[in-house]
Amino acid sequence: MEMNRYVSGLVMALNGLCLIVVGGCSPGVRPEKMVPDSLDVTTLHAESISVNVMGQAPLSFLNAFDKATTQCIENFYVFELGQPDAASNLVLDIIVMRLESPASIYAWPEGMEWYQAYKGAAVCTLVTIWRLSKADRESILAEEEIVTSNTHNVPDYMTGGLHTAGRDATEAAVRDNIKKGLEWLAGVQW
């Protein structure tokens, strides 16, 4: 009787450890992989801007998107980047309207159904609205819907390939979205 309780407790502890290890192996999106290598920008604005990413997506995704956009503005000098605690002339709100990505799925289907559903590829579709307004947010200067999509092949379904491909597709869709958004924004006259 005592031995069964000991074995039962040990089995429960091992199951819990497996859940922690397997759950911890799922890497999230990486902001540094979301920053475009180049921008086709001819106009640089002297105004200071603050960035705010919000919408229909997990908080970790929104934070990574915000960090990547801020880094891109710093790298390419599209605007003067305002400090979070200082007043900026302009506010850039990026509103995530739709994020369809295997990287955002938390409950994986049983067996091979997920592989058949994705047909060996991970696809991310991202729909955002880029809204530039004055700091008081009372007057919108410009607004644009940007849709990007990216596909990555799943290398090996047995080793977390869908999650890795999903993460890579998501990062690429965000990278393309930032590139299109900042290139559009650089051309806006107000």
Q: What is the pLDDT of residues 73-97, one digit of tens each?
A: 888 888 877 665 456 788 999 999 9
Q: Can you give the pLDDT at residue 138?
A: 84
Looking at residue 79, its amino acid is: F
| In the predicted structure, residue 26 carries a pLDDT above the cut 60 | no
Class of domain 2-187: alpha beta
- List the domain boundaries for the chain: 2-187
Count of residues making up the chain = 190
- What percent of the chain is helix, strand and coil (3-state, nearest 5)? 45, 25, 30
DSSP string, 56-96: SS-HHHHHHHHHHHHHHHHHHTSSEEPPTTS--SEEEEEEE
Contact 182, 78 (CB under 8 A): yes
The whole-angstrom separation of Cα 113 and Cα 78 is: 45
Q: What is the pLDDT of residues 172-189, one digit of tens each?
A: 999 999 999 999 998 888
Q: What is the pLDDT of residues 38-64, one digit of tens each?
A: 988 877 788 888 899 999 888 999 999
Q: What's this model's pTM, rounded to 2 decimal places?
A: 0.74
Name the DSSP letter for residue 108.
P
